[in-house]
Amino acid sequence: MKDLAFSVSFRLEQYVETRIVLTINKQVDQGMFGENLKRIRAQRGLTQREVAQLALIHKRYVQDIEACLKIPSVVIAIRLQRALNCEWRDLTRGL
């Protein structure tokens, strides 16, 4: 039971750390994630609607991310990475 509690605690800390990094990086360069998303999506020949369906999010949210109006949560970023079937480093390049 103690190991399980440690595992959950550790994962929560990782999530919080990642979220903080994304928030800090948003202030440094808000557009990089959106630009990377747009570039990779275009390379894959996918529409915003297709990426949204694969990531289980609304098409408007993908549009807002690509337009640098929003930065996704870690959960949504992971869904986008899986939907695009790309490396995490490619999606976060420049952050």
Tokens, residue 91: 């999606």
CATH number for position 67: 1.10.260.40
pLDDT confidence of residue 9: 47
10-residue stretch averages of pLDDT, the chain, 95 residues long: 45 54 52 92 97 97 93 90 93 80
CA distance 65 to 46: 15
Q: Is 24 exposed, middle or buried (0-12, 13-18, 19+ CB in 10 A)?
A: exposed
Look up the domain containing 14 and give its range: 2-91
Give the three-state DSSP class for 42: helix
Q: Minimal CA–CA distance to 76: which of 50, 58, 94, 49? A: 58
Q: How far apart are CA 52 and CA 9, in angstroms?
A: 31
Q: What's the structural domain count of the chain? A: 1
Q: Using alpha carbons only, what angle is made at residue 52 by residues 59 and 42, rounded to the nearest 5 degrees?
A: 95
